[in-house]
Structures are given as C-alpha cells and as structure tokens.
Amino acid sequence: MNRENNVLNIRRILVPMDASEQSRSALQAAAELAAAFRAELVGLFVEDINLLQLADSPFAQEISFYSPGLRRLDRELLKRQLRVQADRARQELAAVASRADIPWTFRVTRGGVSAHVLAAATEADLTILGKKGWSMSRSPRIGSTVQALISRGRGMTLILEQGLRLQYPVLTFYTGSQVSRKAVMVGAGLAQLQKRPFRVLLLADDSRTYQRLTGDLQELLDQTRVAAEYRRLDSSGISGLRQALAREGQVLVVVPSEEPYFLGTALESFLGSINNPVLLVRPDEPEGSKVEGL
C-alpha cells in the first residue's frame, strides 16, 4: 500500500482490563496485533467508584460463597479486592507481553469506568475490549463501556466476543462513502498482515449502484497488493446484515462508523445480534488523526 492509502499505523493499543474472561480474550488479541505492528500494549484497570460508593450505603449487602446469608459490604475489604484484581491484571499483561516480546505499560485509576476508558482511548490508536465485561449494562449483550465507546469514542475500536481470536478472513462493508473507503483500506491491511482472505460486502440496492461501487472499489484496491472477493448486499436492515454474515461464516468484520447501520442504537443492535469480532473505523479527525499513513 502506498503512503496515501495505508491507514494502519498503530503504535499504542489500549486494553481496558477487569476480572472477566472477555478481558483475557481482548488481551490475547491485543498482544497478537501489538506484535504484528510492533506497538506498545497499554493496560488500564479502573477501580470502579460506583462500587466504592455503593459500599457506603447502609443498605448495601453482598452474598458470600463461603458463609451463609447476607453481609454488609465493607469498603476497605472492597478496596483490597480491587487492588488484588489490579495486581492480577498487571501480572497477566506482563506475562502476555513478555511472551510476545512487546513493550507494555499498565495504569490503575479510580473513577467511572466508561469515563476513564474514553479518556485513555484518546491517547491510543486502537482500543480492544470484550463485548460485555464486569460493569453494569442496559443491554443483555453489550457492556456499558462498549456502549460509551461506540457512541463517544475516537480512533478505532475492536469489540470481541468471549473466546474469539483474530485468525479469520476479514470482511468489510462498503457504501462508497469516505469512511467506508477508509474501512476497506483498514480491512485490506489486516488481511494482508495476517495473510487471510479479504471480502467486501457492497451495500447496493440495484445493479447500476453495484457496478459503480465495484469500479470505485477496484480502483481503490488496485493501489494495494490485496485481492478481494466482492458480494452484493441489498440495504435490507440489521436482519439482512446479520443473515449475510451468517452466510460468510466466522469472519472479522470491519465496519465504517456511519448511518444508517453503524452508529448509535443501530450499531448497538447490530453488535448485540452477532458473535463476530467487530472493528469500528471512524472518520478521520479534523486535526491530527491518530490513524496515519505509513
């Protein structure tokens, strides 16, 4: 890829960490990509201030697996438990980074989880996290931190289902927009990096639109060494996107952050309806985009 179109310049990969299995899956995926890009792996553990404030409530109680009945939440005990979790997260990060021979840093902060992750994501080129971690959520399928990132985040965000890895064919949605062009280049770069097949679903309601998009796409990909398989997809709503992905099998999905399917509640619905890893690509920032050409 030439300098103008090679948008994969990833130097810092952020992994928000907690005690969940999805956090461990995200850490493994982050280490794979950090090794491929020779990037720094940045671990973040947030001591959830909401939990600590809950412990101050006279009505807050917890159930213990080791003693019968309910007991009062103890703030100091909760703080010690959070420190233990943070220490374990740091040890896991250090071990994974050592095996992958990549640089790493680890931070512990205290406050609202989503707010601290959003702030840290502004300093990273890519944020990777599980679809649902330990924090409270309005959705049965998507965690509150993911909801915050997809609505207010910057840069690229990779969202993983528990246990899923990245060694899959790469599939990108293409509409002809500028951000979907960027998503195609990101997807092509990942496919080339991991030596995986690259597929593009072109959202086109008629053959004329499909032919126009195919021509634009081929001109774009001619500047790379990546061969792509094209598929036409009528704009048939979230259910149509889900059915199309089901036909493709297990793929890493790269989506452009744009209406009508990949913004806001529509994107939440899309993420909640599939099990694929999803990489969300946003438009370039007006000043100093973090995703640059090589």
Domain boundary among 142, 160, 178: 160
Co-location of 16 and 139 in the same domain: yes
Domain boundary among 160, 183, 205: 160
Cα 145 from Cα 132, distance rounded (Å): 8
Give the residue-averaged pLDDT of 179-203: 93
The phi, psi pair for 24, rounded to 5°, reads: -65, -40
CATH number at residue 181: 3.40.50.620
Co-location of 18 and 150 in the same domain: yes
In the prediction, which pLDDT does 2 show?
A: 41
Contact (Cβ atoms closer than 8 angstroms) between residue 121 and residue 149: yes
Co-location of 229 and 210 in the same domain: yes
Tokens of 211: 């032919």
Co-location of 119 and 228 in the same domain: no
- The domain total for the chain is 2
Q: Is residue 286 part of a domain?
A: no
Q: Is residue 284 part of a domain?
A: no
Tokens of 91: 């040890």
Give the number of other CB atoms < 10 A from CB of residue 80. 11
In the prediction, which pLDDT does 234 show?
A: 82
Q: How many residues does the chain have?
A: 294
Co-location of 148 and 27 in the same domain: yes
In the prediction, which pLDDT does 79 show?
A: 80
Confidence band, pLDDT 50/70/90 cuts, at residue 138 = very low
Q: Is residue 213 part of a domain?
A: yes
In the prediction, which pLDDT does 133 show?
A: 58
In the prediction, which pLDDT does 293 show?
A: 32
Q: Is residue 165 part of a domain?
A: no
Q: What is the pTM for the complete model shown?
A: 0.85
Co-location of 136 and 231 in the same domain: no
pLDDT value at 171 more than 50:
yes
Co-location of 198 and 174 in the same domain: yes
Co-location of 144 and 234 in the same domain: no
Per-residue pLDDT of 81-110, as tens digits, reads 889 999 999 999 999 999 999 999 999 999
In the prediction, which pLDDT does 109 show?
A: 94
Q: Is residue 186 part of a domain?
A: yes
Q: Is residue 233 part of a domain?
A: yes
Close Cβ partners of 262 (under 8 Å, ≥ 6 residues apart): 173, 255, 256, 270, 280
Confidence band, pLDDT 50/70/90 cuts, at residue 222 = confident
Domain that holds residue 258: 170-276
Q: Is residue 2 part of a domain?
A: no
In the prediction, which pLDDT does 64 show?
A: 44
pLDDT value at 137 more than 50:
no
Per-residue pLDDT of 18-28, as tens digits, reads 877 888 889 99
Domain boundary among 98, 130, 160: 160
Co-location of 156 and 22 in the same domain: yes
Co-location of 235 and 113 in the same domain: no
Per-residue pLDDT of 225-278, as tens digits, reads 888 999 998 867 888 888 889 899 889 999 999 998 899 889 998 998 888 999
Q: Is residue 239 part of a domain?
A: yes
Q: Are strands 12-17 and 126-130 parallel, antiparallel or unpaired?
A: parallel
Give the residue-averaged pLDDT of 216-228: 88
Per-residue pLDDT of 53-87, as tens digits, reads 666 555 444 444 334 444 556 667 778 888 999 99
Higher per-residue confidence, 200 vs 71: 200
Average predicted confidence (pLDDT) for the chain: 83
Co-location of 131 and 189 in the same domain: no
Amino acid in the structure at residue 231:
R
Co-location of 82 and 127 in the same domain: yes
